Structure 1
Amino acid sequence: MSDLQIILIIIGIIIIGAVALFNWLQQMRYRRNVKRSFEHEHEDALLKMGKTGWENERIEPKFSTDSTQELQTEANSTKEKVRLEPKARLEPEELSIDEPLEEHKSVNFDSTINYITSIRANKLISNDKLAELLQQKFDFGKPVHWYGLSQDGQTWEEITIESLHTKGGYIYLNGCLQLVDRAGPVSEVNLSRFRDMVEDFALQVNAVADCPDISNAYIRAVSLDKFCAEVDIVMGINIISKDGGAFVGTKIRALAESAGFRLESEGAFRYRDENNAVLFSLGNYEATPFLPANMRTLTTHGITFLFDVPRVANGEKVFDQMAHLAGLFSSTLNGIMVDDNRVPLSDNGIRRSREQLINIQATMAAHHIPAGSDTALKLFI
């Protein structure tokens, strides 16, 4: 081996050693940085969001006395919390309010189903600021309603974009974020975002914001959603042809309208009471919707009567009316009444459905959420 080769080998070894040393120093520096980054605990937002599996999930009906008592206890404790004096966590300087907000309660804000915040200012909040507040109503995944105490100091009124054109001049505000609807409970993240928005707005208008605890509100939302899932039942009576033939759209429409149904834009007939509340509906057993444009040429092998149990008051009476009409339609169309498995419905089967309906609506009444009430209509939508 020549001297040149030996020198080149030595130079190569030196270069490799230098690179290895440089990499080792970089690795040590990286480890020190990582260690410093984890010296303090940080809350994992994703883990926090994943604490529950209730959202967007419905369970089969089951009536549990434990969950009934739990929800009633939580509803009562919630009502007590709403009566407490505001904590005024965001108190601006030199704020002076002569009389407490709690003395004016001419409207029921329904603390059972809402997360309720309050804002108190020492001067009128401008309509421009209120308009900005209302523009954020749809940012939290559930319905939001804002109420203001009227200038006479006696009545609360809902604030909308339309009402701001003729009214305004509020000092006291209440913001209500609904905890549950048929999509599930409000998320803890959206509860926090709503609270933060209320507090930020209060700062902007030099007011005091009172926002209840988020964790307790979320627990209430999950419990309420569990109860709603237990009573969220839609009962149906299907009518199919006895001989496998088809029903003609024109005949279905004539029968429905003569019975008092109205064909509506959602693709079904609706039967409404004198207050325009939907009692039950009539739709196509097949996928094609009932629309004014296609009823003349439509044929189908079945129709379906649907009764939305939690949304209808006096359910027992209304169900009897629907079952009676279903029997008339079945006879006129030469059909047979069946359940969703195409098993013929006997009088005993209809009676069992009726008894289940009575039990469900009695459970709702025991929880102070009567079927067909304003509260029920908000929850089951």
Structure 2
Amino acid sequence: MDLLNMSDLQVSLIIIGIVIIVGVAIFNWAQQVRYRRRIESTLDHQHDDALFKKNDAHRSPETHKRIEPELDQSFFLNNTSQHIPTIEPGNIPEINSLPEDNSEAKTPVETETFSPADVYDSRSNYIVIISADDKIPDTELDNLLQRRYEFSKPLLWFGKSEKSSAWEEITTGTTTKDTSFTSLRGCLLLADRSGPIREIDLSKFRDTVQDFASHIEAKIECPDIVCAHEQAILLDKFCADVDVMIGINIIGKDNGAFVGTKIRALAEASGFRLESDGVFKYRDENNHILFTLTNYEPDAFKPDKMKTITTHGVTFLLDVPRVANGERVFDQMTQLAKIFANTLGGIMVDDNRVPLSENGLARSKQQLINIQSSMKENNIIAGSPHALRLFN
């Protein structure tokens, strides 16, 4: 076709066609680049250890984040026929140490060695001291105790008499006895799983105890509110770093299902007890929860539905900061998980449904040890009354 003899309309249509073709080619190229980057980022992503899950549900809308053991290289060497994606080892976030405590309660948190008041130091509590010349009236003390729930965080009161140098925890029932406290110590928790205490709650508590002390003509020692709030934020940051759970899933082979009656029989034979919240709980001789067994699917294990329920899996969970002797408890939970897998005819997997290896379990156990050691170095013993308050 002679371009010179073309009409303006024909030339315009040719140009538009060329522009459309080039545009489609550029669009397709961009899509391919975007898709390739997405695939590469997925393959190169450094996943967290899949057994541990960060307990951040209280601080964000996300569910608990666990760090679970991943497959090691030997698994792929021995299972080349299986097409399973490689999960790179992850790392626990760096755990910062808490600042030193200069209060009178600067002692390790060991409940069997120290008095109850010594467990609660100023690194995790806003502590006030009220000192009176005479016995504090029981009526006034009872009124103060009634206000313990007004400050958004747990508050404990301790009392000391002239004849004793030991602090004694005070409850509402204590004042019905013939008490003779001349000194009071209030310990308001600075942070828990709902986050750090608000500065306005610290101010409200300080004003309350100052008014009380003024009313009974007693002396009072109150820390600075701004410094205490800054300490609360630091404490919350540290607790967030160590607040993790360990989870091991048992799922049916070839997408098979487990029946509720068999799960319950095996769980109770292993020492679990199904409680009203739909969770099997394994407790020690002191009734402390060591680990739990939950449904891998959303439905809870309600006692009245265990005869009819079926599920494609169960999950063992260990709450790291709330369990003492975590290394031993982890071994105990892992052994039970293996028994469940063998008895139910299932396999142990992480949250990505990737089979677990012994090497991966060992790495997760070591990370648990590191976490509990870091807690101990910062005067918080995992599983102690102190830790149970912080991680509640």
For normalisation by structure 2, the TM-score amounts to 0.72
Deviations 1:121-175 (A, max 9, x none): 2222222211211111111111001111135333221111122222423221111
**Which residues in structure 2 correspond to 1:326-337 (within 5 Å)?**
326-337=337-348
Q: 1:372 to 1:110 in 2, by over 3 A?
A: same
Give 1:350's aligned residue.
361
Quick check: 1:75 aligned with 2:106?
Answer: no
For normalisation by structure 1, the TM-score amounts to 0.74
Match of 1:270 among 267, 276, 281: 281
Query: CA contact under 8 A between 2:117 and 2:158: conserved in structure 1?
Result: no
Match of 1:57 among 42, 59, 63: 59
Task: Give the aligned length.
Answer: 299
Q: 1:270 to 1:372 in 2, by over 3 A?
A: same
| DSSP 3-state at the match of 2:255 | coil
Query: CA contact under 8 A between 1:55 and 1:184: conserved in structure 2?
Result: no
Give 2:133's aligned residue.
122
Once the 2 structures are TM-superposed, how far is the Cα of residue 374 of structure 1 from its aligned partner? 2.2
Where structure 2 has 5 or more consecutive residues not aligned to the other structure, the ranges are: 1-55, 66-91, 107-114
Q: Percent identity?
A: 54
Q: 1:185 to 1:56 in 2, by over 3 A?
A: farther
**Which residues in structure 2 correspond to 1:1-381 (within 5 Å)?**
57=59, 61-64=92-95, 67-68=96-97, 71=98, 74-76=99-101, 78-79=102-103, 107-108=117-118, 109-150=120-161, 152-381=163-392
Query: CA contact under 8 A between 2:116 and 2:168: conserved in structure 1?
Result: no
Where structure 1 has 5 or more consecutive residues not aligned to the other structure, the ranges are: 1-53, 83-104
Once the 2 structures are TM-superposed, how far is the Cα of residue 266 of structure 1 from its aligned partner? 2.4
The amino acid across from 1:75 in the alignment is: E
Query: In structure 1, how many angstroms separate the alpha carbons of the residues matched to 2:388 and 2:354?
Result: 32
Which portions of structure 1, spanning 4 or more consecutive aligned residues, are displaced by more than 4 angstroms? 58-61
Deviations 1:204-261 (A, max 9, x none): 2222221111111111111111111111110100111112232111111110111111
Deviations 1:55-101 (A, max 9, x none): 9637984124xx32xx1xx233x32799xxxxxxxxxxxxxxxxxxx
Query: In structure 2, how many angstroms separate the alpha carbons of the residues matched to 1:124 and 1:362?
Result: 43
| DSSP 3-state at the match of 1:155 | coil
Once the 2 structures are TM-superposed, how far is the Cα of residue 106 of structure 1 from its aligned partner? 8.4
Q: Which has the higher contact order (CA 8 A, sep 6+)?
A: 2
Give 2:88's aligned residue.
none
Q: 1:291 to 1:152 in 2, by over 3 A?
A: farther
Query: CA contact under 8 A between 1:116 and 1:174: conserved in structure 2?
Result: yes
